[in-house]
């Protein structure tokens, strides 16, 4: 059996044979499959009942996806680099202040060293 050609110049639309095969299944098999599919769907929906069901979860997913699309990766990377720069500067300041503190402790210990009444 051959399907009709849609357009004579269109190579991608020329079907030489039917792709869908006629599969013989009994009505009981189809009903059984459908019942298993519906039961599985209901089970998944039941797991999300606290948030309003599967439909609510999908809607929430779509909303989050739209909101996240408002922020670019470049923007996040730039902000992350700025934060890292600030952290590095603060760590350097902390290191320098500790050095000053250590020097102060050392000089104070030298002033009140052995033989002094301090």
Q: Check pLDDT > 60 for residue 90.
A: yes
Contacts of 13 (CB under 8 A, 6+ apart): 5, 6, 7
pLDDT tens readout for residues 40-66:
999 999 999 999 999 999 999 999 999
What is the DSSP secondary structure assignment for residue 24, as one 8-state letter?
-
Q: CA-based Rg of the chain, rounded to a whole angstrom?
A: 36
Q: Within 13 Å of residue 12, how many CA atoms lie on the same side as its CB?
A: 0
Its pTM surpasses 0.85: no
Q: Of 7-21, 25-39, 43-57, 72-86, which range is least confident? A: 7-21
Q: Of 2-6, 26-30, 56-60, 105-109, which range is least confident? A: 2-6
Q: CB count, 10 Å around CB of 54?
A: 16
- pLDDT bin (cut points 50, 70, 90) of residue 19 is low
Q: Which residue in 42, 44, 36, 3 sits closest to 20, CA to CA?
A: 3
Q: Within 13 Å of residue 63, how many CA atoms lie on the same side as its CB?
A: 6
Q: Where are the alpha helices (DSSP H) in the chain?
A: 27-47, 54-68, 73-111
């Amino acid at each position: 059996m051959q399907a009709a050609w849609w357009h004579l110049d269109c190579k991608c639309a020329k079907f030489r044979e039917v792709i869908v095969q006629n599969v013989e299944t009994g009505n009981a098999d189809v009903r059984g499959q459908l019942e298993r599919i519906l039961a599985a769907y209901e089970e998944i929906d039941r797991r999300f009942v606290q948030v309003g069901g599967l439909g609510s979860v999908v809607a929430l997913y779509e909303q989050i996806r739209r909101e996240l699309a408002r922020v670019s990766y470049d923007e996040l990377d730039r902000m992350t680099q700025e934060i890292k720069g600030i952290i590095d500067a603060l760590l350097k300041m902390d290191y320098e202040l500790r050095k000053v503190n250590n020097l102060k402790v050392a000089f104070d210990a030298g002033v009140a060293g052995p033989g002094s009444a301090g």
